[in-house]
Amino acid sequence: GAVVSQHPSWVICKSGTSVKIECRSLDFQATTMFWYRQFPKQSLMLMATSNEGSKATYEQGVEKDKFLINHASLTLSTLTVTSAHPEDSSFYICSALDRASGSKDFGPGTRLTVT
Amino acid sequence: DAKTTQPTSMDCAEGRAANLPCNHSTISGNEYVYWYRQIHSQGPQYIIHGLKNNETNEMASLIITEDRKSSTLILPHATLRDTAVYYCIAGTASKLTFGTGTRLQVTL
């Protein structure tokens, strides 16, 4: 399947700071990428859908000013958690849609801990 | 996405076939059945997907009933490394909504 990478794999930051997470499609061009969040012992929840060159579409209840998404190229989307708080501590996972094959592949995830 | 119902957990002996059921009675005509699995602290791994025909790949087989209201994922020879949460999703690639999945425990 297609390869999606994320960086960093884990990050610890202080409350009030901002953290940027990168998602890259390594062997295909992804016009659409998705950001999910997963709290312990829960399932993945879709946060937003980003399309290359346009604004992201956020799911209900997700603050777009807090979770900034940029999808400036066909292989890179970034999620910035602004003014992070301990309740933002979670496992953030991106996925990318390979329209050529129709497959949707996921990155390995980024574990964010806000202290 | 159509809602799916899966058993919360299942056990399977190593070397035996693991049959994971999924109900998706409200699936619409353009929605596929996708299966992913998630091993602890990793991103979901794609397994297989299908529309109405049965599908097979190197990982698993997917059996979809004729009315498309349910499906079964078959791991033909389960190994300890297949222990994971398995998610059945009825939807389109542009919109996949994860439910709670089935926790499969493969034992010796």
DSSP secondary structure of A68-102 = EEEEEETTEEEEEE-S--GGG-EEEEEEEEETTTT
User: Chain A partners of B38 at a C-beta cutoff of 8 Å?
Assistant: 44
Name the residue among A97, A103, A106 with its Cβ closest to that of B43.
A106
Indicate the range of A93-97, B73-77, B81-85, B92-96 predicted with least confidence: B92-96
Under a CB-based contact definition with an 8 Å cutoff, are residues A108 and A23 in contact?
no
What average pLDDT does the segment B28-48 reach? 93
Point out the residue among B34, B45, B98 whose CB comes nearest to the CB of A44: B98
Mean pLDDT of B17-22: 98
Q: What's CA B103's distance to the chain center, in Å?
A: 11
- CA B49: distance to chain centroid? 9
Report the percentage of chain B scoring pLDDT > 90: 90
Exposure string over A38-72, b if 16+ CB within 10 A, otherwise e: beeeeebbbbbbbebeeebebeeebeeeebbbebe
B54 in contact with chain A, both atoms CB, cutoff 8 A: no
Nearest-CA distance B100 → chain A (Å): 5
- Position B40 scores a pLDDT of 87
B22: pLDDT strictly greater than 80: yes
What was the pLDDT predicted at A99? 79
Which residue in A84, A106, A107, A93 sits closest to A12, CA to CA?
Answer: A84
Q: Report whether B2 contacts B31 (CB < 8 A).
A: yes
pLDDT tens per residue, range B41-55: 899 999 999 999 999
Which residues 50-89 of A have a C-beta within 8 angstroms of B? none
Among chain B residues, the shortest Cα distance to A43 is held by B100
**A-interface mutation test, from B55, B86, B97, most A Cβ less than 10 A away:** B97
**Rounded to whole angstroms, how far apart are CA atoms B79 and B39?**
13
What's the rounded Cα separation, in Å, for the pair A11 and A8?
A: 7
Contact B55, B48 (CB under 8 A): yes
Tell me the shortest Cα–Cα distance from B29 to chain A, in angstroms: 17
Which residue of chain A has the CA closest to B103? Answer: A41
Band the pLDDT of B94: cuts 50, 70, 90.
confident
Report chain A (115 residues): mean pLDDT per 10 consecutive residues. 89 97 92 94 93 91 95 92 97 91 89 97
| Chain A closest-CA separation from residue B49 CA (Å) | 9
Statement: residue B2 has pLDDT above 80: no
What does DSSP assign to residue A59? P
